[in-house]
């Protein structure tokens, strides 16, 4: 029996285990041995493996894993160096691993790229495929990324609920909702949905791609206050001034990768607004729940198919590729899975296109057409003792 290794990397999503379930499903049905690497590539370097054929006993286990949020195999944030490549080759050979599927974002695609090139250069009979995931939707060469639809549904749902909540009072208030996305505003842009669908939602949506102009925002707020008392603003954590500096930049803090720390842009914006408006102003950060909570059925099923497709592709000796989604039609929603060169995806960032962005801190109908199919449907969740039932692999 040939052996497939699968691992997960980067930030968790609500759909990352659906892709894992797809890989396992393909492997089991086609008589491959399937093992999991715990804690991503750094766990693989420590030979931290589990036998997934044994862990997933039946279809019921598989279905539960499919709707389990957060990386069931654990994750890491680790950049490969050259000595790692050699070490991994040795481990793969000793463990008899012929196929490797890495589920992750830009950095993980870089790992897939480096590994597959190294195996190619050394004429090794080992194949590597990347399966995309990220709530940020910032990978190039794919219509969208698995995990984004569920996160977008959570954002849309939360914005709708917050809009309903703040609507209960008839006096003026301003509410800011801070949404993940340092360079790409796709997730924040999802805040557009409720207003288009229900007429209650975010009044202004400021993306990482926008130029943040406080005076422009203030004028828009004042105009809106003439029509309604409650104003709701959605902002990307990475909004920037015209000169490119982050609104929430703290130059004294730099992280391990040399990125300037950006924190609590919502609170920063609240402080600015409090100087001009003597009103109740609240800032809400959606935080971790964005990537661990509500799921879209379309996203879960698509992520599962991507896992199956990745497995099928790698055992057919494709390597140095990433699975990508090509959209054939918005309505009815139809997609096709393809393989693209992983080197063309690694370390690149996709942004919200200008054609989707309006001048008054809003998104247009074109973006709604792109977005709406991705948040459709609710997977069936089993509950026990009032809590959802999830699957534990570690």
State which residue, 95 or 167, has the beta carbon closest to a second copy: 167
Q: Which x/- pattern over 202-241 shows residues binding a second copy (rule: CB under 8 A)?
A: ----------------------------------------
CB-nearer residue toward a second copy: 3 or 333: 333
Verify binding: residue 375, a second copy, rule CB under 8 A. yes
Which pair of structure tokens corresponds to residue 41?
A: 């590539």
Determine which residue in the list 39, 102, 212, 309 makes contact with a second copy, applying CB under 8 A: 39
For every residue of 4-48, DSSP letters joined together read EEEEE-SS--SSHHHHHHHHHHHHHHTT-EEEEETTHHHHHHTT-
Q: By CB under 8 A, is residue 164 in contact with a second copy?
A: yes
Decide: is 143 part of the binding site for a second copy (CB under 8 A): no
Q: Are 22 and 304 in contact (CB under 8 A)?
A: yes
Residue whose tokens read 């997960």:
8
Nearest CB to a second copy, comparing residues 170 and 226: 170
Can you give 174-211 as a three-state secondary structure string? EEEEEECCCCCCHHHHHHHHHHHHHCCCCCEEECCCCE
Instruction: Please identify which of the residues 136, 138, 203, 299 carries the catalytic annotation.
Output: 136
Q: 189 is written with which tokens?
A: 């842009």
- State how beta strands 204-206 and 230-236 pair: parallel
User: How many helices (H) and strands (E) in the chain?
Assistant: 13, 17
Could you give the C-alpha distances from 181 to 80, 292, 333, in angstroms and in order?
A: 24, 15, 26
* Binding residues for a second copy, total number by CB under 8 A: 57
SS3 content of the chain, % helix, strand, coil (to 5): 40, 20, 40
CB 356 within 8 A of CB 367: yes
> Is residue 281 a contact point for a second copy (CB under 8 A)?
no
- Position among 81, 122, 287, 347 found at the interface with a second copy (CB under 8 A): 287
Nearer to a second copy, 264 or 338 (CB): 264
Task: Say whether 392 is catalytic.
Answer: no
Minimum CB distance to a second copy, residue 117 (Å) = 27
Q: Is 168 in the site for a second copy (CB under 8 A)?
A: yes
Among 153, 240, 312, 321, binds a second copy (CB under 8 A): 153
Catalytic residue positions?
136
Q: Which residues of the chain form contacts with a second copy (CB under 8 A)? A: 8, 12, 38-39, 43, 68-71, 74-77, 153, 156-158, 160-162, 164-170, 175, 193-194, 197-198, 264, 267, 282, 284-285, 287-289, 291-293, 296, 372, 375-378, 383-388, 390, 394
């Amino acid at each position: 029996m040939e052996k497939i290794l699968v691992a997960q990397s980067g930030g968790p999503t609500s759909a990352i285990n659906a892709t894992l379930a797809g890989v396992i499903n393909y492997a089991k049905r086609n008589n491959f041995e399937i093992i999991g690497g715990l804690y991503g590539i750094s766990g693989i370097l420590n030979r931290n493996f589990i036998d997934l054929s044994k862990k997933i006993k039946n279809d019921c286990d598989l279905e539960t894993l499919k709707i389990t949020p957060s990386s069931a195999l654990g994750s890491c944030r680790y950049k490969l160096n050259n000595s790692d490549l050699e070490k991994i080759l040795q481990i793969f050979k000793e463990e008899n691993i012929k196929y490797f599927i890495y589920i992750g974002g830009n950095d993980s695609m870089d790992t897939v790229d480096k590994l597959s090139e190294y195996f190619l250069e050394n004429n090794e009979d080992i194949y590597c495929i990347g399966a995309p995931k990220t709530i940020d939707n910032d990978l190039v060469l794919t219509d969208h990324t698995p995990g984004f639809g569920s996160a977008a549904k959570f954002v849309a749902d939360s914005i709708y609920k917050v809009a309903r909540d703040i609507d209960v009072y008839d006096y003026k208030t301003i509410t800011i909702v801070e949404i993940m996305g340092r360079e790409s505003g796709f997730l924040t842009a999802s805040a557009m949905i409720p207003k288009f669908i229900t007429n209650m939602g975010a009044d202004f949506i400021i993306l990482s791609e926008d130029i943040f102009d406080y005076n422009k925002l203030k004028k828009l707020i004042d105009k809106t206050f003439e029509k309604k008392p409650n104003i709701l603003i959605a902002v990307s954590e990475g909004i920037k001034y015209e000169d490119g500096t982050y609104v929430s930049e703290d130059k004294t803090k730099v992280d391990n990768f040399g990125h300037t720390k950006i924190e609590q842009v919502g609170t920063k914006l609240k402080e600015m607004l409090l100087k001009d408006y003597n009103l109740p102003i609240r800032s809400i950060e959606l935080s971790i729940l964005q990537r661990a909570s509500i799921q879209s059925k379309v996203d879960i099923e698509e992520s599962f198919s991507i896992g199956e497709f990745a497995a099928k592709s790698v055992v057919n000796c494709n390597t140095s590729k990433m699975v990508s989604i090509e959209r054939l039609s918005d309505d009815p929603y139809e997609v096709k899975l393809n393989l693209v060169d992983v080197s063309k995806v690694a370390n690149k960032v996709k942004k919200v296109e200008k054609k989707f962005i309006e001048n008054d801190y809003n998104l247009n109908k074109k973006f709604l057409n792109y977005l709406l199919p991705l948040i459709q449907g609710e997977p069936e969740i089993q509950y026990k003792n009032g809590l959802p039932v999830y699957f534990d692999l570690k």
